[in-house]
Structures are given as C-alpha cells and as structure tokens.
Amino acid sequence: MTGIVRVPVLFVNAYLVETNGGFALVDSGLRGIGATLIRAAVEARFGPRARPGAIVLTHGHFDHAGSARAL
C-alpha cells in the first residue's frame, strides 16, 4: 500500500508518507500532543510496533518540529 495520510495536530498537520517498504513522517507537530496524536495514527494504520523509516521536518518552528525528539 502507498499513499499519504494527513494527521491533524491542532492547528498544523503532520503526514505519514507510505511506501511499499514502510513509511516516513513529515513534521512532528507540537511538543507533547503531536507525539501522542501521531503515535495513535501510526498504531491505527501500521500496528503498535511500527516506526517511521525517516522523519522529515519541513522547518524548525515549534509547531512543526516540537515532537521530533519524542518520536
């Protein structure tokens, strides 16, 4: 399966970009709530042990990169 899944994180979005070999996360959202919402979306789509092959941050603002370390 391939595709792009939007994950709303309050007033910004993160994206799961699916490939045949897994997925990448684009942006991580706000610190704390971003990690919580993204983990829930990843678990629902890929299973509880799934981890992104890469995390791509579009830029360093807190609302796009705040949860990167936690993920």
Structural contact between residues 38 and 71, judged by C-beta atoms closer than 8 angstroms: yes
Task: Provide mean pLDDT across the span 5-14.
Answer: 93
Q: Where are the domains of the chain?
A: 3-65
- Report the alpha-carbon distance of residue 15 to residue 6 in Å, rounded: 5
Token digits of residue 59: 């830029």
What pTM does this model have?
A: 0.88
User: Is the predicted pLDDT of residue 35 greater than 70, yes or no?
Assistant: yes
pLDDT by residue (tens digit) across 10-29? 899 999 999 888 999 999 99
